């Protein structure tokens, strides 16, 4: 394993942490950047497993709230309803992710042009949604009805196509179903924990026999970088969204998708 490969793993880990929780598609960024860097991971496991760093970033920032939520479960009906809602939202991705795992990793993950297309389309849609005169009915994630949580979970499944964005799909779907921007982003945080933990565990199980020592070293490097970058994003994202909405992320998607197509045309 050469120094450039280690540097590439570090760069990709930072990109994962910076993009996981904003609606720009961390997987799409990793696949495109990895393509142009010439970075190849065994079974495309690196791109999935370094998400553990982002998961721990949420846990570290939200630890106090998660602990309070956990200790209140036996006595607080609203806490039980919220945890049940997150679990319901997680179920569609869990089922479809297991059934379509092979197709996602061997077909969808191998198409940079698909990533560029979904980045562009998603950017235009997010820009449109951000400008709609929506009147939110739900402003607190603790008050989301169970049926709304399940519907958001089904929308999240669109993000199995790289470039769509897990957070982008959940946030856009939540906004169209009556939430405000801040609570939509916050629910996406909570839903990320079981979703990414499940993807991590299943992908590790499927590839446990093909990972080498070098693969594990690169994953650890990417994981640490992802965690550090993710902490900064989680701490500041909700306030940023409250002030600026999602238009900056939409324009970034359009820029990256366009630049990606240009790179594919000129560089291959």
- Residue 192 banded pLDDT, cuts 50, 70, 90: very high
- HSE-up (13 A, CA, CB side) for residue 137: 7
**Cα–Cα distance between 222 and 139 in angstroms, integer?**
35
Q: What are phi and psi of 137, to 5 degrees?
A: -105, -20
Q: Which string of b and e fits 182-216 if b means at least 16 CB within 10 Å?
A: bbbbbbbbbbbbbbbeebbeebeebbeeebeeebe
pLDDT-above-70 percentage for the chain: 100
Cα 260 from Cα 33, distance rounded (Å):
9
* For the chain, domain boundaries: 3-267
Which residue bears the tokens 């065994």? Answer: 42
Backbone torsions φ then ψ of 47, nearest 5 degrees:
-65, -25
pLDDT tens digits for 34-84?
Answer: 999 999 888 889 999 998 898 899 899 889 999 999 999 999 999 999 999
CB 147: neighbour CB atoms within 10 A? 11
Please list the residues that pair with 138 across neighbouring strands: 179
Per-residue pLDDT, 208: 87
Write out pLDDT tens, residues 98-132.
Answer: 999 999 988 999 899 999 999 999 999 999 999 99
Check pLDDT > 80 for residue 163: yes
Q: Alpha carbon 265 to chain centroid distance?
A: 27
| Three-state DSSP class for residue 138 | strand
Look at residue 266 in the predicted model and tell me its pLDDT. Answer: 92
* pLDDT band, residue 202 (cuts 50/70/90): very high
- DSSP state, residue 62: S
Q: Which pair of tokens denotes residue 12?
A: 């990709």
């Amino acid at each position: 394993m050469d120094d450039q490969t280690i540097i590439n793993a570090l760069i990709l880990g930072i990109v994962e942490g910076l993009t996981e929780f904003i609606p720009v598609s961390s997987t799409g960024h990793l696949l495109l950047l990895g393509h142009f860097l010439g970075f190849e991971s065994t079974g495309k496991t690196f791109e999935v497993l370094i998400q553990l760093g982002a998961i721990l970033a949420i846990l570290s920032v939200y630890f106090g709230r998660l602990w309070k939520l956990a200790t209140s479960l036996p006595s607080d009906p609203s806490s039980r309803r919220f945890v049940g809602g997150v679990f319901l939202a997680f179920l569609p991705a869990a089922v479809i992710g297991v059934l379509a795992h092979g197709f996602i990793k061997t077909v969808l993950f191998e198409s940079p042009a698909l990533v560029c297309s979904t980045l562009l389309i998603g950017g235009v849609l997010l820009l449109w949604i951000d400008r709609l005169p929506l009147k939110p009915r739900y402003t607190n994630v603790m008050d989301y009805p169970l049926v709304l949580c399940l519907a958001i979970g089904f929308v999240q499944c669109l993000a199995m196509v790289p470039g769509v964005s897990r957070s982008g799909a959940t946030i856009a779907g939540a906004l169209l179903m009556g939430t405000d921007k801040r609570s939509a982003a916050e629910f996406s945080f909570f839903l990320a924990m079981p979703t990414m933990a499940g993807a991590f565990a299943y992908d590790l199980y499927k590839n446990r026999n093909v990972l080498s020592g070098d693969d594990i070293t690169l994953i650890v490097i990417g994981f640490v970088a992802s965690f550090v970058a993710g902490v900064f994003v989680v701490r500041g994202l909700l306030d940023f969204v409250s002030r600026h909405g999602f238009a900056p992320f939409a324009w970034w998607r359009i820029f990256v998708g366009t630049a990606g197509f240009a790179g594919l045309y000129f560089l291959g």
